[in-house]
Amino acid sequence: MLRLSALYRYPLKSGKGEVMQHADLDKLGLAGDRRWMLVDEASGRFLTQRAVSQMSQLSALWNASGGLTLGAPGQPPIEVALPATDAPLRGVTIWRDTLRVPDAGDAAAAWVSQFIGKPTRLVQVPEERARTTEAGYGKDDDKVAFADGYPLLLIGQASLDDLSQQVGRPLEMLRFRPNLVIEGSEAFAEDGWKRIRIGDVEFRVVKPCSRCILTTIDPQTGSRSDDREPLATLQKYRAQEDGAMFGQNLVNDGNGRLEVGMPVTILE
């Protein structure tokens, strides 16, 4: 039997993940997932662990009012309120998308700038300002917050076990930043799924996930692996035209609540 074995949320893009026992879904995926992002103050370009590896040590806890509690080694935590509806907007760039989103204010900016080591702003995306997903995949009205391309990422536990065996050491699931982990399937069975149901919610499997250098960063320490693993192994046995694939991008059709342990049904 297939079941949902783990749930993860990342309130701040490229910050630490939260382990969840249950989570609600809205139009942009898991409520509170990647609704906040750091950007370079001068250019507005998004910042991630790809270039700023210390972001792996930045903890961000989302609260029910939509605000954020930020914590980092050597700095006192800071509470950041959800920007007001009339908050100043900042032009930002994430990959090829440009958009205008609310800025979290100067106190939050000073805190994150001190941590990053250069002038940085913290921004938030309300649902009405979210991006649309990549053309040609999914539906025209599919939306995404600050995740790279899609609202949700699914990985099968057996797929991680297979990769760990190939690499020759156990790998942490958080290295791959999934939202949903499925147990009970064969390795890479998710590659063949098109529609699934968890609880009362149906999901479309829209596109495999191309992996990058981020997978080589230890989620506990923030240090990069000298041997470029597990990316080097993925590039050998999971390579496609668009890169080394691991995990599947999903879009949820409808809202609802997910809980660890729920059965998973393959619909197509």
Backbone angles phi and psi of 175, in degrees to 5: -55, -30
Nearest Cα to Cα of residue 148 among 128, 135, 127, 133:
133
Asked if residue 134 has pLDDT above 90, the reply is: no
**152-156 and 180-183 as β-strands: parallel, antiparallel, unpaired?**
parallel
pTM confidence score: 0.94
Compute the distance between CA of residue 217 and CA of residue 233 in angstroms, rounded to an integer.
Answer: 15
Model pLDDT, residue 139: 81
Domain spans of the chain, in order of start: 3-29+133-266, 35-129
pLDDT in tens, 16-60: 999 999 999 999 999 999 999 999 999 999 999 988 988 999 999
CATH class label, 3-29+133-266: mainly beta
Asked if residue 135 has pLDDT above 80, the reply is: no
**DSSP secondary structure, 88-140, as one string:** PEEEEEETTEEEEEEB--HHHHHHHHHHHTS-EEEEE--GGGPEEPPTTSS-T
Mean pLDDT within 61-90: 94
SS3 183: strand
pLDDT in tens, 141-182: 899 999 999 999 999 999 999 999 999 999 999 999 999 999
pLDDT band at 77 (very low <50, low <70, confident <90, very high): very high
What is the number of other CB atoms lying within 10 angstroms of the CB of residue 183?
A: 16
**Average pLDDT over the chain, rounded to whole?**
94
